[in-house]
């Protein structure tokens, strides 16, 4: 799974939780929780779907760091690479 | 449980201009930095409601009381550190609470019909998972939300946010978590459609 694919998975997952999401209008460095009006239940829903789709586990302590689109993609790519080795 | 005063309001029931007029400069700056209009309105409404409730509870006024923010986002009163405050919101409702005599206070509100799609094992203890499986579908829905709001309220009262995994906080049959005494949780209905959990201990 490369970074482009991970980005697509992230956007697809976000769109499931935020039905009116405009992926093209999403600033990759903006705070996702503010930008998309996500609360903690939304956040954990999204995180659990990342875990399922990428076959990884994401410790709760890492969730706060996945605060922007770019940070989320980078984190998931690292996590996926670590899981694959 | 210490005495806790809880108040809730529909976001649309609070006049935005009136709410804005009692906020501090710092709160207005924070609101202006928020790009999302709904998030901004909820923050403004929540802070105005909290200011009003604090003014009813302590010898201060809604405009004068100082409300600061801990690094993890929890509001607190620097001039009244022994008084706990907490805010929670859904998309259309804001809940605020004040506890005199303790800073260990957390509230959390959820819509009763909100579907919860997170696997129980991701956020519940093994005991809670077993208890959930024994319930009928209808009872399970409500219990899911009691568990979720209860865990959120306890972690807010601890001031740890999501850094404390929800799985480490057992809510049913009674609250069990490191540093949290038993019997600290109550649930109240905020109107027919919302459930509020309140966690507080001295």
pLDDT tens per residue across span B182-199: 889 999 999 899 999 999
Task: Give the separation between CA A35 and CA B108, rounded to whole angstroms.
Answer: 21
- Which residue has better confidence, B177 or B3? B3
Task: Give the start-end residues of each E strand in chain B.
Answer: 4-10, 68-69, 75-76, 83-89, 93-100, 104-111, 185-189, 194-201
Report pLDDT for A5.
Answer: 96
Residue B24's SS3 state is coil
Place of tokens 């993890």: B72
Give the Cα separation of B44 and B22 in Å (integer). Answer: 10
Answer whether B110 touches A (CB < 8 Å): yes
CB spacing of B35 vs A37 below 8 angstroms:
no
pTM of the model: 0.92
Quick one: pLDDT at residue A80? 94
Looking at the partner chain, which of A30, A43, A48 has a beta carbon nearest the beta carbon of B119? Answer: A48
pLDDT at residue B164 is higher than 90:
no
Option in B38, B122, B167 nearest A48 (CB)? B122
State residue B26's pLDDT score.
Answer: 95
Phi, psi of B30 (to 5 degrees): -65, -45
Average pLDDT over residues B42-69: 96
Dump pLDDT digits (tens) for B82-134: 999 999 999 899 999 999 999 999 999 999 999 999 999 999 999 999 999 99
Q: How far is it, in rounded angstroms, from Cα B59 to Cα A26?
A: 45
Considering all CA atoms of chain B, what is the largest pairwise distance in Å, rounded to the nearest integer?
Answer: 51
A26 contacts A69 by C-beta, under 8 angstroms: yes
Average pLDDT along chain B = 92
Contact A44 B116 (CB under 8 A): no
Answer for the pair B198, B186: CB distance below 8 angstroms, yes or no: yes
Confidence at residue A83, expressed as pLDDT on a 0 to 100 scale:
87
Q: How far apart are CA A59 and CA A53, in angstroms?
A: 16
Q: What is the pLDDT of residue B98?
A: 98
CA distance to partner chain A, nearest, from residue B102 (Å): 25
Residues of chain A with C-beta less than 8 angstroms from the C-beta of B116 = 41
Of residues B78 and B174, the one with the higher pLDDT is B78
Helix, strand or coil, per DSSP, at residue B197: strand
Q: Which of A13-27, B3-17, B164-178 has the lowest mean pLDDT?
A: B164-178
Residue B73: what pLDDT? 80
A25 vs A22: CA distance, rounded Å: 5
pLDDT band at B163 (very low <50, low <70, confident <90, very high): low
Q: Do B39 and A45 touch (CB under 8 A)?
A: no
């Amino acid at each position: 799974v490369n970074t482009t694919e991970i980005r697509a998975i992230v956007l697809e997952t976000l769109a499931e939780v935020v039905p009116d999401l405009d992926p093209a209008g999403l600033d990759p460095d903006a705070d996702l929780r503010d930008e998309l009006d996500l609360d903690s239940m939304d956040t954990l829903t999204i995180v659990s779907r990342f875990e399922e789709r990428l076959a990884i586990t994401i410790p709760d302590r890492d969730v706060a760091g996945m605060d922007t689109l770019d940070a989320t993609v980078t984190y998931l790519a690292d996590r996926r690479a670590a899981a694959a080795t | 449980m210490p005495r806790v005063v809880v108040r809730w309001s529909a976001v649309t029931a609070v006049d935005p201009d009136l709410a804005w007029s009692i906020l501090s400069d710092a709160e207005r700056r924070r609101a202006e930095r928020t790009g999302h209009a709904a998030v901004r309105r909820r923050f403004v409404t929540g802070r105005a409601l909290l200011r009003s409730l604090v003014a009813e509870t302590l010898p201060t006024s809604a405009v004068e009381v100082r409300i600061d923010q801990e690094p993890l986002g929890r509001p607190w009163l620097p001039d009244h550190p022994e008084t706990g405050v907490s805010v929670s919101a859904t998309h259309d409702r804001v809940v605020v609470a004040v506890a005199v005599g303790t800073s260990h206070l957390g509230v959390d509100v959820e819509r009763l019909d909100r579907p919860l799609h997170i696997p129980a094992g991701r956020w519940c203890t093994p005991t809670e998972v077993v208890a959930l499986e024994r319930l009928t579908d209808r009872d399970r829905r409500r219990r899911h939300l009691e568990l979720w709001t209860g865990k959120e309220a306890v972690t807010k009262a601890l001031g740890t946010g999501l850094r404390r995994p929800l799985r480490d906080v057992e809510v049913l049959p009674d609250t069990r978590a490191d540093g949290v005494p038993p019997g600290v949780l109550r649930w109240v209905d905020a109107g027919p459609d919302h459930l509020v959990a309140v966690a507080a201990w001295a």
